[in-house]
Amino acid sequence: MNGEMKVGVFVLVCSVLFGTAVFLLGDYSFQKFYPIYAEFSDVAGLPDKSTVKLSGVEVGKIKEIYLKNDKVVVEVAVREGVKIYRDARFLVGSTSMIGSKFLQVDQGTPAAGVIEAGSTVKGDDALPLDRALGRAVSSLQKMVEDINGQGRLARDLNEVMTNLREITANVNDLVSNSQPHAEKVVERLDSITAKLDAMLDKTDAIVDKVNRGEGVAGALVSDQKMKADVTEAVSNIRDASVSVKEALGRVGGFRTYLKWDYKYEPAAKASKSNLGVRIYPRPGRYYYLGGANMINVKDATHGTDYETLNTIDAQLGWERGGFDFYAGVLHGASGAGLRWRPFLNSRWDRLALFVEGSEFSRNRRIKGRSFNDPRYDVGVDVTLNKYVSAGMRLNDMAETKRVNYTTRVLFEDKDIAYLFGFATLGSMAK
């Protein structure tokens, strides 16, 4: 092989290698493609020449991205033979938070038909992963600022806790002032009960001596008639003493509690109160009577309030374990409710859940709004101490769905309990 031939072979080999490199680096292909044009409002940094994936499988390339009027047009080259249906979604995808972007196509249904070559489709402007995460972090930061005391929720909770502290101080002062009077009444009842027990013991001893004919009493009743008369008289005294003791026990058996509920409704920008008395004639059963949604109707209103104001509550209730069921009049209408302490006798015993139903045949208009569904309320209470609890309730779930922040004060009034006990003495058999 002469020199000229060697030079020719070298030039030929170099030309083949150069052509191969140009073919590979220039992204040329022998496959056939057809064009589709996708219009977007924002392609979020989608680069030219990036891949096109149909249901996760690469089916083409992006040839060009350019602006047309107020839209961004993406020219897509799809491999010949790949069918994309008309209801398919075109959106910008990303391999990760900081990964490369590509054009993602979510396949449609065959019934919609196939997209023809040269067709223009509308791209989906859904947020890419990086922007969606950025917005989520911003929303989370706002929520944390609100909880830390820079938002309305924190201000409302601070206001509620300030009211709770004032109410607790007033209740403690009231209980401390009424406690000495209640203790004196209890001491007098204990003294009377002890004297009755001593009298009954002495009566038993006298009756025994009379029956045996011993001592002066036995001599006075030596004949049978006198003995029978004295025995009957002493037995009557004993029966009377037992009745008195039973009556005193009934007087002390009542338990009476004063209950005040304070509710604040942010949507109506108004607060209301429930005030009443709960009477326990015996353990596990109670009666409740009081006023509901009490408010001065002459006060200025700042929002739309659908509650029926200044009504009554009158209920009969039963307590069994962690359940409290009550029925009667709720907010001026017939209804029933159930309160449940799911963690009874545990460290979470302070938590209580409740549900109420009323106005089951409601059909009326209130302030221009129709109310046709029954009223259902749900809520949660947390006991803060022996007198005060706080919580939240959702009123009228089927209609208005109004949130209320609540505070409850409940304390025992023994003076009223003794009053009810003495009032029941008239019903006892003579």
Q: What is the pLDDT of residues 250-289, one digit of tens each?
A: 555 678 888 999 999 888 888 889 999 998 888 889 999 9
Q: What is the DSSP letter of 398?
A: T
pLDDT of residue 22: 52
* pLDDT class of 181 with cuts at 50, 70, 90: low
Residues 320 and 375 placed together within one structural domain of the fold: yes
Which helix H or strand E contains 153, and what residues bound it?
Answer: helix 152-212
* pLDDT class of 328 with cuts at 50, 70, 90: very high
Tell me which residue of 273, 190, 200, 281 sits closest to 243, measured CA to CA. 200
pLDDT of residue 297: 72
Using CA atoms, how far apart are residues 317 and 280, in angstroms rounded to an integer? 9
* pLDDT class of 29 with cuts at 50, 70, 90: low
* pLDDT class of 171 with cuts at 50, 70, 90: low
Give the dihedral sign, CA 97/102/108/112.
positive
Beta strands in 231-306 (DSSP E): 255-265, 270-282, 285-294
Would the pLDDT of 383 be above 80? yes
Task: Note whether residue 359 is domain-resident.
Answer: yes
Q: At what angle do helices 152-212 and 414-423 cross, to 10 degrees?
A: 50
* Alpha carbon of residue 130 to chain centroid: 34
Residues 223 and 279 placed together within one structural domain of the fold: no
Would the pLDDT of 229 be above 80? no
Residues 232 and 282 placed together within one structural domain of the fold: no
What are the pLDDT digits (tens) for 339-367? 999 988 887 888 999 999 999 989 888 88
* Amino acid (1-letter code) at residue 346: S
Residues 204 and 118 placed together within one structural domain of the fold: no
Residues 273 and 231 placed together within one structural domain of the fold: no
For residue 265, CA distances in Å to 338, 354, 357 come to: 22, 18, 19
For residue 25, CA distances in Å to 28, 131, 339 come to: 8, 33, 75
Q: What is the DSSP letter of 300?
A: P
CB neighbour list of residue 49: distance below 8 Å, 6 or more residues apart? 27, 61, 62, 63
Task: Note whether residue 150 is domain-resident.
Answer: no
Residues 185 and 330 placed together within one structural domain of the fold: no
Task: Note whether residue 19 is domain-resident.
Answer: no
Residues 243 and 267 placed together within one structural domain of the fold: no
How many domains in the chain?
3
pLDDT of residue 127: 62
* Residue 288, number of CB atoms within 10 A of its CB: 18
- According to DSSP, the residues that pair with 324 across neighbouring strands are 319, 339
* pLDDT class of 147 with cuts at 50, 70, 90: low
Report which of residues 406 and 145 the model is more confident about: 406
Report which of residues 326 and 126 the model is more confident about: 326
Residues 56 and 186 placed together within one structural domain of the fold: no
Would the pLDDT of 89 be above 70? yes
Question: Which residue bears the tokens 């069918």?
Answer: 83
* pLDDT class of 166 with cuts at 50, 70, 90: confident
Enter the tokens of residue 12.
Answer: 């030929």
Question: Which residue bears the tokens 């806790």?
Answer: 161
pLDDT of residue 392: 93
pLDDT mean across residues, the chain: 79
Task: Note whether residue 272 is domain-resident.
Answer: yes
Q: What is the DSSP letter of 424?
A: G
* pLDDT class of 208 with cuts at 50, 70, 90: confident
Q: Average the pLDDT over 305-330 and give the result.
A: 91
Would the pLDDT of 61 be above 70? yes
Q: Average the pLDDT over 101-129 and give the result.
A: 86
Residues 400 and 260 placed together within one structural domain of the fold: yes
Q: Which domain holds residue 59?
A: 30-130
Residues 233 and 332 placed together within one structural domain of the fold: no
Which helix H or strand E contains 249, and what residues bound it?
Answer: helix 224-253
Task: Note whether residue 4 is domain-resident.
Answer: no
Report which of residues 317 and 302 the model is more confident about: 317
Residues 191 and 214 placed together within one structural domain of the fold: yes
* pLDDT class of 430 with cuts at 50, 70, 90: very low
Q: Average the pLDDT over 114-142 and give the result.
A: 76
Contact in structure between 306 and 400 (CB atoms under 8 Å): yes
Q: Average the pLDDT over 52-74 and give the result.
A: 90
- Which of these three, 78, 111, 130, is where a domain ends? 130
Task: Note whether residue 151 is domain-resident.
Answer: no
Which helix H or strand E contains 131, and what residues bound it?
Answer: helix 129-145
Query: Do strands 351-358 and 333-340 pair parallel, antiparallel, or not at all (unpaired)?
Result: antiparallel
Which of 13-22, 177-186, 248-257, 287-296 is predicted least confidently? 177-186
* pLDDT class of 161 with cuts at 50, 70, 90: confident
Enter the tokens of residue 129.
Answer: 């992963």
Task: Note whether residue 139 is domain-resident.
Answer: no
* pLDDT class of 378 with cuts at 50, 70, 90: very high
Which helix H or strand E contains 376, and what residues bound it?
Answer: strand 375-383
Q: Average the pLDDT over 167-179 and give the result.
A: 65
* Alpha carbon of residue 128 to chain centroid: 35
Residues 101 and 173 placed together within one structural domain of the fold: no
Q: Average the pLDDT over 33-39 and give the result.
A: 93
- Which of these three, 234, 253, 272, is where a domain ends? 253
Task: Note whether residue 219 is domain-resident.
Answer: yes
- Which of these three, 253, 273, 297, is where a domain ends? 253
CATH number for the domain including 319?
A: 2.40.128
3-state class (DSSP) for residue 369: strand
pTM beyond 0.75: no
